[in-house]
Amino acid sequence: MTEEPYRWVEAVANRREYIETQLASGSPIAAVGYRDGILFVTLGRTRQKVYEIYDRIAMGAIGHPGDIERLRMAAIELASTEGFTRSAADVSLRRLAYYSLSPVLKAGFEQIYGAPYLARMLFAEIGDKPEDDLFLRVEYDGAIATNGATFSETRQDFGALSGTRAATELMESFLKREHKPDGSLRSALKTGLEAWTVGHIGSSDDGARELPGKEAIAARLQEQLTGSGIEGAILERDARRAIRYRALADDEVKALTAG
């Protein structure tokens, strides 16, 4: 039956709906640029959700743990072999996403007899200057969205990922309004957590379409913090070290969120 073009389109559409339902409850992830680097932040219970991929590349993901592992492992293997056979400077997130991950995700998604990857990912690569920072979202069907300037939009120094497309858009419009790229790590963490909350509201309350108010955000964040912990990781711009990724320790996060 899937030999018929119409059936194939229908099957793909069903599959999209299925994947979207599976991913909808994922905890959002915000990545925000600040004075000295890029901060990844999310809330979670046990599973780690932000990962080191290579010297300058970090990844956050929503989805099935098995699929996230496969994609994470593949990304690390690709970056590591590239960094080994050529040099660390030749490892590029753009190439990794466009030439390696995207085609595989698309094939997995459209080959309707096989299982698709149940995952969407948010990557960031830190540059020498803030203008060179790259934020990149890779969807389960291989679609890629970046922070780069296009004809109509200006460049953004943040990235957002959440369970539903609408919630991601909501996070983006929140960050567009609130995010200050040259702020401190403390203010980046505050904005990041608020953006997380906006994504959480957007993906849980029957798809809220309007940006919630400050009080609503604060109340929801407080409520969520009782059951989950904050997970944070940074990519530092400090050029003295080759490896820029560093997970924030619990007491570091506590100190940054206190007061």
Binding residues with another protein: total (CB under 8 A): 27
Helix (H), strand (E) at residue 211: none
Cβ neighbours around 94 below 10 Å, total = 14
Question: Residue 123's beta-bridge partner residues?
Answer: 59, 136
Q: Looking at beta carbons only, is 51 or 123 nearer to another protein?
A: 51
Q: Looking at beta carbons only, is 217 or 234 nearer to another protein?
A: 234
Least separation in angstroms between CB 100 and another protein:
5
Q: Looking at beta carbons only, is 219 or 243 nearer to another protein?
A: 243
- The site string for another protein over 199-238 (x = CB under 8 A, - otherwise) reads ----------------------------------------
Helix (H), strand (E) at residue 58: strand 57-63
Decide the pairing of beta strands 229-236 and 158-161.
unpaired
Per the listing, tokens 């056979």 go with 85
Q: What tokens were used for 17?
A: 């709906």
* Stretch 103-162 residues interacting with another protein (CB under 8 A): 103-104, 108
Out of 7, 95, 209, 254, point to the residue binding another protein (CB under 8 A): 95
* Stretch 41-80 residues interacting with another protein (CB under 8 A): 48, 51-54, 66, 69-70, 73-74, 76-78, 80
Instruction: With beta carbons less than 8 A apart as the criterion, state whether 194 and 178 touch.
Output: yes
